[in-house]
Chain A
Amino acid sequence: MASNTIKFEKLPDRLPPSNTVGWMAWVKTNLFGSISNTLITLLVFYLIFLYIPPFIEWAFINANFSGSDRSVCDENKAGACWTFVKVRFDQLLFGLYFATNPDQMWRPIIAFIGFFGLLIPLMIDKTPHKKWLLITLLTIFPVFFLLIVRGGVFGIPDSDPSQWGGLLLTFTLAFVGIILALPLGILLALGRRSKMPVVKSFSIIYIEFWRGTPLITILFMASVMLPLFFPSGVEFDKVVRAMIGITLFQSAYTAEAVRGGLQAIDKGQSEASMALGMGYWQQTIFIILPQALKISIPSIVNTFIALFKDTSLVSIIGLLDLLKIAQNSSRSLDWNGYDIEAYMFAGIVFWIFCFGMSMYSQRLEKKLDTDRRE
């Protein structure tokens, strides 16, 4: 029986034109799409070739890593002097007290490990029990930090905060700023949305006052005027004064970040909780804040990045943070003249943390965005 059924078979898809796929096509559309595009590409290439190879040569190929004093670097001026950073590394990271007492160095190291051990899991999506980690970081860790870095108990030698410095101090100031500013900022944000005119206007005045003033003026105020505000006999350490100034300043910015989150919460939420018979504080603590804080995490992280960068201003009121130690080292007799390396090291350290945090907040923003669309 002859088969008279015709079998239809799908022909294979034709390949796309060769000039629209592959790296050639990519280069053509993205680099040489038009005349002006080509000109821009050539110009940028030219700039890259002009500046990048000499920089790499200076920073890596000709750089000095060996030795323990400046003689190595003085002989070879063609490259960067990373020996300097290597020798001063302990000071830059942990400040003078721990750099001069190497047997005590384990204390800041453990503090750092504890800090990152709590922080990094928090930034990973799948970590279980995040809430408890966060609570540990915000409550138990500061106490632990104070015990181990400040010392003075359990046979741990006492380290005076005025002797703290370097990255340790930078972190301490930023962390204290955010921990203390968070509750204050939440209260202020709630106050700003309160229906009570006195509460509302006080909150607005407070927030706008601190936001309108440069941090450096506030730090001056904290270091010069704070002792004047209190009856004689009440003494504050320089570091504590800076912490107070930073906290007051940061609480205003945190308040604005939290307010953004509060505004995003639908009115129905508070109406529903009112219908269930909840009072103001029950409503706020159990219904509104958990949702609002979640939304405002990216902006809180952004204010934290700004604060982290701004802690460098304490060098102007004489604290030895990372930037100040870098500057002092490059002006010391041993290493006079190696400014670029000093600033570059401090800059890279700051950059890594700020860039990391901003990546995290951007990712979080994207995630929250899709959450809401679902």
Chain B
Amino acid sequence: MRSAIIQGVLLFIVCYALLSIYQTTIFNLEERGIKTSTSFFDSVAPFKVGFSPFLDYELGKTTYIEIFYIGVLNTILVAVLGIVAATILGFAIGIMRSSSNWLASKFSLVYVEIFRNMPLLLQIMFWNFAIFLAFLPPPKQSLEFGVFYLNGRGLQTPLPIIENSNNFNIWLVTIFFSFIGVYFFRRWAKKRFFETGKTLPVFSLSLVFIILFTTLMFYALGGPLTIELPVLGKFNFKGGAQLPLPLFSLWFSLTIYTSAFIAENVRAGIASVSKGQIEAARSIGLSRSQMVRMVIIPQALRVIIPPTISQYLNLTKNSSLAMAVGYEEVVAVWANISLNQTGQALIIIAMTIIFFECCSLFTSFVLNIYNRRIQLSER
């Protein structure tokens, strides 16, 4: 009875507070001449968006809602690029941290402690304003990294171009089926191992199969995809794609910052595998690579993966700091510029928050699935 009253009162207070805040906000907005409605979605956005690789942008034609989509896609682009790079770098640094080489281990310790103890915003501004903008050469004298060129305008990268979209889709489907084939092959190999004890080099066989099969199909379908390399023209690059400097700086700093946290997760994961496991693996005669593959990695990954997934979410949220360098992601073009232009604070902030909440919910969803799978395989 007592708890029912407490809950009832709490429910009433919270609902009343939210409702009155909502009404006051609507009233205040109307007093400033802004009628809260979604009708501004279809009106033309009067400002320029420089970077929109996935949706066509045209000044004087693109509407506000399209600006929102551009912002979301740009956020996702930098998040994906950052996640891939931070994972590779973070694992490399984390493995180095656990290496028996003293120098390598201390080097990665210094790396981790330097980069995770400074504000990300400071790092973004440092790399962008103090280093890249100040020191990167003009396009003519670009720094060359294989097929990548870095200059004061950004990073020139090769661009895959789909020549024949029909055949390309068929190719994607065949790749998908090759993975399914590998999945069944592995199941069969595992079953055979449990029944007869005979092993097969499953991993390398699968890899060879996938590579051979996809290459074969690629040529059988007449090469539906070509890769366009950037070529230096008279003043600027022709062909390929360009990651503008703000995107490059943001990606670079996010990668370095997040990799320090991932490296720490990796180190903790490797350290969490108890010494007894390694001794037991040796005593039953596993080779070194078998031990790493079958004993250390599976147990370490259990500790590494959950916090690393949270780091991916943090990276996505941190990409909103792009504002400082002028990359056009969702907070910059939507929660800042569009908000200032239209004054539709309520809807715009709500949509921005909902986008990030979706990312967050998706992350917890993935984490929950992963945790459940781990629990099932525990005895």
- Residue pair B24, A229 in contact (C-beta under 8 Å): yes
Q: Is B274 an interface residue (CB 8 A)?
A: no
The answer to whether B320 and A355 have CB atoms under 8 Å apart is no
Query: Which candidate, B7-15, B51-59, B61-69, B164-172, is the interface stretch facing chain A?
Result: B7-15
Do B349 and A350 touch across chains, with their CB atoms under 8 A apart? Answer: no
A228–B359 CB distance below 8 A: no
Tell me which of A208, A211, A224 has the highest count of chain B C-beta atoms within 10 A of its own C-beta.
A224
CA gap between A29 and B103 in the complex, in Å? 12
Partner of A343, one of B24, B28, B104, B126: B126
Q: Does A346 contact B (CB under 8 A)?
A: yes
Is B360 in the interface zone, CB < 8 Å from A?
Answer: yes
Assuming A40-B101, A41-B103, is B10 touching A312 (CB within 8 A)? no
Are A217 and B352 closer than 8 Å at their CB atoms?
yes
Cβ of A247 to closest chain B Cβ, rounded Å: 17
Known: A31-B102, A354-B118. A212 touches B125 (CB 8 A): no
A198-B7, A214-B320 given; A224·B339 CB < 8 A: yes
Interface size class of B (residues with CB under 8 A): 35 or more
Q: Mark A9-34, 1 if CB is under 8 A from B, else 0.
A: 00000000000000000000111010
Q: Is the pair A315, B335 in contact by a Cβ cutoff of 8 Å?
A: no
Main secondary structure of the interface of A (DSSP, over half): helix
A30 touches B345 (CB 8 A): no
C-alpha spacing A294/B280, complex, angstroms: 38
Q: Do residues B121 and A351 form an inter-chain contact, with CB atoms below 8 A?
A: no
- In B351-365, the 8 Å CB interface with A consists of 352-353, 356-357, 359-361
Q: Across the interface, which residues of A come within 8 angstroms of B14, CB to CB?
A: 202
When the two chains form their complex, are residues B101 and A31 in contact, meaning their CB atoms are under 8 A apart?
Answer: yes
Q: Are B24 and A230 in contact (CB under 8 A)?
A: yes
- Chain B: which residue is nearest A227 at the CB level? B28
B226 in contact (CB, < 8 A) = no
Please pick, from A231, A315, A340, the residue contacting B24 in the complex, using a CB distance under 8 A. A231
- A32 to B278 Cα, complex, angstroms: 23
Assess the A313–B121 pair: CB atoms within 8 A: yes
Q: Cβ of A309 and Cβ of B118 under 8 Å apart?
A: yes
Cβ of A256 to closest chain B Cβ, rounded Å: 11
Alpha-carbon distance A310/B357, docked complex (angstroms): 19
Are A37 and B345 in touch, CB under 8 angstroms? no
- CB–CB A343/B125 < 8 A: yes
User: What total of A-B pairs shows CB separation below 8 Å?
Assistant: 154
> Are A339 and B129 within 8 A (Cβ)?
yes
B195 interface residue, CB < 8 Å from A? no
Task: Please tell me if the beta carbons of A355 and B349 are within 8 angstroms of each other in the complex.
Answer: no
Interface residues of B in 91-113 (CB under 8 A from A): 99-104, 107, 113
Kindly state the separation between the CA atoms of A216 and B119 in the bound complex, as whole angstroms.
13
- Known contacts A232-B31, A316-B324, A347-B126; decide if A310 and B349 are in contact (CB<8 Å): no
B353, A354: Cβ atoms under 8 Å?
no
Query: Which residues of chain A from 305 to 319 have any CB-CB distance to chain B below 8 Å in the complex?
Result: 305, 309-310, 312-313, 315-316
A178 to B125, CA, bound (A): 26
B356 touches A339 (CB 8 A): no
Sample of 10 more A-B contacts, CB < 8 Å, known A214-B318, A231-B24, A343-B122: A31-B102, A212-B359, A213-B317, A216-B321, A217-B349, A220-B339, A232-B28, A309-B117, A312-B122, A351-B117
Report which A residues bind B (CB closer than 8 A).
29-31, 33, 37, 40-41, 44-45, 195-199, 202, 208-209, 211-214, 216-217, 220-221, 224-225, 227-232, 305, 309-310, 312-313, 315-316, 323, 327, 330, 339-340, 342-344, 346-347, 350-351, 354-355, 358
**Interface residues, chain B, CB within 8 Å of chain A?**
3, 6-8, 10-11, 14, 21, 24-25, 28-29, 31, 99-104, 107, 113-114, 117-123, 125-126, 129-131, 134, 317-318, 320-321, 323-324, 331, 335-336, 339, 345-346, 349, 352-353, 356-357, 359-361
Can you list 8 pairs linking A and B with CB atoms under 8 Å apart?
A30-B103, A37-B101, A44-B104, A196-B3, A228-B25, A316-B324, A354-B118, A358-B117
